A and B are shown apart, each in its own frame.
Chain A
Amino acid sequence: MKIQNGYIHLAKSALEDFRRNKVRTFLTSLGIMIGVLSVVLLISLGLGLKNYLKQQFESLGANLIIIFPGNISSSEEGGGLANFGAGFAGGANFDERDYESLKRSVEADYVVPLFMKSSVVESNGKRKLGYLMGSNEESFKILNLEILAGDFFLKGDVSARAKKAVLGYNLADALYEKPEDAIGKTIRVADQRFKVIGVYKKKGDREQDGAAVVPYRSTFGTLNPDKTFFTIYLGTINEDKVESIKIQAKEVLLKRYKADDFTVTEQSELLSTVNQIFNIVNGVLVAIGSISLIVGGIGIMNIMYATVTERTKEVGIRRAVGATQKDILKQFLTEAVMLSVFGGLLGLILSSLIVLGIRVFFPASINLFSVVITLVISSGIGIFFGVFPARRAAKLSPIEAIRYE
Chain B
Amino acid sequence: MIKLENVCKSYFLGEEEVKAVDSVSLQIKEKEFIGIQGSSGSGKSTLMYLIGLLETPTSGKIILEGKDVSKLSDDDLSKIRNRKVGFVFQSFNLINRFTVFENVLLPTKYAKSGLDFDPVKSAEELLKRFGIYDRRNFFPNKISGGQQQRVSIARALIMKPKIILADEPTGNLDSKTGDEIINILEDLNKDLGVTVIIVTHESEIAKKTKRKIYIKDGRLAEKYL
Q: Do A and B come from one complex?
A: yes
- Return 5 A-B CB contacts under 8 Å, by A number: A317-B94, A321-B110, A322-B159, A324-B74, A325-B78
Q: Which residues of A contact B111 (CB under 8 A)?
A: 2, 322
The A contact surface, by secondary structure, is helix
Q: A321-B106, A325-B74 are in contact. Are A20 and B82 (CB under 8 A)?
A: no
Which among B81, B98, B114 is the interface contact of A321 at CB below 8 angstroms?
B81
> At the interface, yes or no: A399 with Cβ under 8 Å from chain B?
yes
Bound-complex Cα distance A325 to B76 (A): 11
Instruction: State which residues 142-197 of A face B: CB under 8 Å.
Output: none
**Cβ contacts under 8 Å, B87 to chain A:** 320-321
A326-B75, A398-B54 in contact; A318/B97 too (CB < 8 A)? no
CA distance in complex: A317, B87 (Å): 9
Task: Out of B55, B75, B106, B155, name the residue touching A399 (CB < 8 Å).
Answer: B55
Establish whether residues B109 and A9, one from each chain, have CB atoms under 8 Å apart when the complex forms: yes
B146 at the interface (CB under 8 A from A): no
A313: Cβ under 8 A from any B Cβ: yes
Which of A2, A324, A327 has the most chain B CB within a 10 Å cutoff?
A324
Chain B nearest CB from A396 CB (Å) reads: 12
- State the CA gap A86–B185 with chains docked (Å): 89
Least CB distance, B214 to chain A, in whole angstroms: 22
Q: Is A243 an interface residue (CB 8 A)?
A: no
Given contacts A327-B110, A399-B55, is CB(A17)–CB(B97) below 8 Å?
yes
Tell me the number of A-to-B contacts counted with CB atoms below 8 Å.
66
Given A321-B106, A326-B75, A398-B54, 10 new contacts (CB under 8 A): A2-B114, A16-B98, A317-B93, A319-B54, A321-B155, A322-B82, A324-B75, A325-B78, A327-B110, A402-B54
Interface residues on B, range: 20 to 34
Chain B residues near A17: list those with CB within 8 A: 97
The residue of chain A having its C-beta at the shortest distance from the C-beta of B45 within the complex is A399
Chain B residue at smallest Cβ distance from A397: B55
- Closest partner residue, chain B, to A12 (CB atom): B102
* A5 interfacial contact with B, CB 8 Å: yes
Q: Say whether B133 faces chain A, with CB atoms less than 8 Å apart.
A: no
Residues of A within 8 A of B (CB): 2, 5-6, 9, 13, 16-17, 20, 313-314, 316-327, 398-399, 402
Give B83-121 as 1s and 0s: 1 = Cβ < 8 Å from A's Cβ atoms.
100010100011101100000001101111010000000
Question: Would you call B79 an interface residue if the criterion is a C-beta within 8 Å of the partner chain's C-beta atoms?
Answer: yes
B97–A322 contact, CB under 8 A? no
A321 near B89 with CB under 8 A, answer: no
The residue in chain A whose Cβ has the minimal distance to the Cβ of B96 is A314
Q: Which residues in A have their C-beta under 8 angstroms from that of B224?
A: none
Complex CA gap A322/B155 in Å reads 12
- Taking CB atoms, residues of chain B closer than 8 Å to A318 are 106, 110
Which 8 residue pairs spanning A and B have beta carbons closest together?
Answer: A322-B82, A322-B110, A321-B107, A324-B78, A9-B109, A320-B87, A317-B93, A322-B81
Q: What's the nearest-Cβ distance from chain B to residue A2, in Å?
A: 5
Given contacts A5-B109, A322-B82, contact A402 B93 (CB under 8 A): yes
Most B-side CB within 10 Å, residue of A20, A316, A317:
A317
How far apart are B197's CB and chain A's nearest CB, in angstroms? Answer: 15
Complex-state Cα separation, A16 to B98, whole angstroms? 9
Whether A322 contacts B79 by the Cβ 8 Å rule is: yes
> How long is the Cα–Cα vector from A13 to B97 in the complex, in angstroms?
9
Bound CA–CA A285/B104 (angstroms): 52
**A70 CA / B211 CA spacing, docked (Å):** 101
- The answer to whether B109 and A399 have CB atoms under 8 Å apart is no
CB distance from B220 to the nearest CB of A (A): 21
Instruction: Give A6 to B89 CA distance when docked, in angstroms.
Output: 25
- Beta-carbon contact of B95 and A322 below 8 Å: no
Given known A20-B97, A314-B95, A399-B49, contact A320–B54 (CB-CB < 8 A): yes
The distance in angstroms between the C-alpha atoms of A324 and B78, with both chains bound, is: 5
**Closest B residue by C-beta to A20:** B97
- Cα distance, A324 to B81, chains bound together (Å): 10
Query: Contact partner of A16 among B52, B54, B74, B97, CB < 8 A?
Result: B97
A197 to chain B, nearest CB (A): 79
How distant is the Cα of A399 from the Cα of B56 in the complex, in angstroms? 11
A344 and B54 CA atoms in complex are apart in Å by 39
Residue of B nearest to A320 (CB): B87
Q: In the complex, what distance in Å separates the CA atom of A317 from the CA atom of B81?
A: 12
Q: Which residues of A contact B52 (CB under 8 A)?
A: 320
Bound-state Cα–Cα, A317 to B159, Å:
15
